[in-house]
Chains A and B, each alone.
Chain A
Amino acid sequence: MKLAKHVKFREEKFGSVLFETRSEKVYTLNPTATAVVREIQSGSDEGSIPARLKARFHDSGGAIEREAAAFLAELRQKGLVED
Chain B
Amino acid sequence: MATRASSPGIGSPVPVTTRAATESGDLGAPLYIAWQVTNECNLACLHCIEESGPGKAFHDELGDEQVFSVLAQALDLEVPYLSFSGGEPMVHPRFFDMVAYVCGRNGQLKIETNGHYLEPENCARLKQLGVKAVQVSLDGATRETFNRMRVRGDFDRTVEGVRNLHVAGVPIEINFSPTHFNVHEVAAAVDLAAELGAYSFYTGRTMYTGNAVKTWPKLAPSEEQYDAFFEALHRKTEEYRGRMRVHFHEIGLLEELRYRLRHPAALLIVLPNGLVKLINALPFVCGDLRRQTLGEIWARFQLAWQDPRVAKFVEDLAEDPRKTAALHQWVYL
Q: Do A and B bind each other?
A: yes
Query: Does B277 belong to the interface (CB within 8 Å)?
Result: no
Partner of A15, one of B13, B25, B110: B25
Q: Let me know if B13 and A26 touch, CB within 8 A.
A: yes
Q: Let me know if A19 and B31 touch, CB within 8 A.
A: yes
Q: Let me know if A64 and B13 touch, CB within 8 A.
A: no
Q: Let me know if A63 and B6 touch, CB within 8 A.
A: yes
Q: Mark A71-82, 1 if CB is under 8 A from B, else 0.
A: 100110010000
Q: Let me know if B28 and A26 touch, CB within 8 A.
A: no
Partner of A19, one of B6, B10, B16, B245: B16
Partner of B15, one of A6, A8, A24, A70: A24
Q: Which A positions have Cβ atoms within 8 angstroms of B?
A: 6, 8, 10, 12-15, 17-33, 35-36, 53, 57, 63-64, 67-68, 70-71, 74-75, 78
Q: Let me know if A27 and B11 touch, CB within 8 A.
A: yes
Query: Does B287 belong to the interface (CB within 8 Å)?
Result: no
Query: Does B303 belong to the interface (CB within 8 Å)?
Result: no
Contacts of B67 in A (CB 8 A): none
Q: CB within 8 Å of A: which of B1-17?
A: 1-16
Given contacts A31-B2, A32-B5, contact A25 B25 (CB under 8 A): no
Q: Which residue of B lies closest to A19 (CB)?
A: B80
Given contacts A28-B11, A70-B8, contact A13 B28 (CB under 8 A): yes
Contacts of A28 in B (CB 8 A): 10-11, 14, 20-21, 24
Q: Let me know if B13 and A27 touch, CB within 8 A.
A: yes
Q: CB within 8 Å of A: which of B146-203?
A: 171, 199
Q: Which B positions have Cβ atoms within 8 angstroms of A?
A: 1-16, 18, 20-21, 24-29, 31, 78, 80-81, 108, 110, 132-133, 171, 199, 245, 266
Given contacts A19-B31, A36-B9, A53-B3, contact A14 B199 (CB under 8 A): no
- 5 additional A-B pairs beyond A19-B16, A57-B4, A68-B9, beta carbons within 8 Å, are A8-B78, A17-B24, A25-B15, A35-B2, A67-B5
Name the distance in Å between B214's Cβ and chain A's nearest Cβ.
32
Q: Let me know if B171 and A17 touch, CB within 8 A.
A: no
Q: Let me know if A8 and B81 touch, CB within 8 A.
A: yes
Name the distance in Å between A28's Cβ and chain B's nearest Cβ.
4
Given contacts A13-B28, A70-B8, contact A25 B2 (CB under 8 A): no
Complexed CA–CA distance, A33 and B81 (Å) = 21
Contacts of A31 in B (CB 8 A): 2-5
Complexed CA–CA distance, A25 and B10 (Å) = 12
Contacts of B3 in A (CB 8 A): 31-32, 35, 53, 57, 64
